[in-house]
Amino acid sequence: MCYNKHTAVFIYGVKMHTLSVIFGMLIGYLIYHSLSYFLNVGDASKWFKRNEAAILKILLVCVESAAFIQSAKVKQMKILGYNEESIKLYTDLDKQNFDLWKKTLAETLSHYYIESGRKPHYDFNKLLAHTEEIWRKYEAEAKNG
């Protein structure tokens, strides 16, 4: 095969004029960036990631608040002289509510991501482990009085 100096050989031996390749790349670059600019695709993705992180932080704050309220309730019950059986009953009820809440959270978030086809921007197992850690901290604090 004979090629002139302005011809480039690409995959499978297809001959393309070098100038055509350069113009094609330039036009593709311009189209991509103009669409990104007008549609704000990159900014929207960053915005969704930031909002998702903020919502998950709010969820963790809610877990911490509920755990604190539970531990304060147990401490107050001890101060007021409730018997251990009543305290254990309320503690078990709170633990059951927390487990139910955690299960509902897991189902809701996984359903959302399965339905939307998106991949989460966080590690879900770490999130649940962190909620468990927060709960355990306040539970131990309430037991120690």
Using alpha carbons, select from 54, 56, 136 the residue that is nearest to residue 98.
136
- According to DSSP, the residues that pair with 7 across neighbouring strands are 17
Q: Using a cut of 0.75, tell me whether the model's pTM lies above it.
A: no
pLDDT digits (tens, 9 = 90+) for 57-111: 888 888 888 888 888 988 999 999 999 999 899 889 988 988 888 888 878 777 7
Per-domain residue ranges of the chain = 7-39, 41-144
Tally of CB atoms within 10 A around 139: 18
More confident residue, 53 or 42: 53
Q: C-alpha angle with apex 111: 40 to 46, nearest 5 degrees?
A: 20
The number of helix segments (H) and strand segments (E) in the chain equals 4, 2
Please, are residues 145 and 75 in contact by the beta-carbon 8 Å criterion? yes
For residues 6 and 111, give the distance between their C-alpha atoms in angstroms, rounded to a whole number: 55
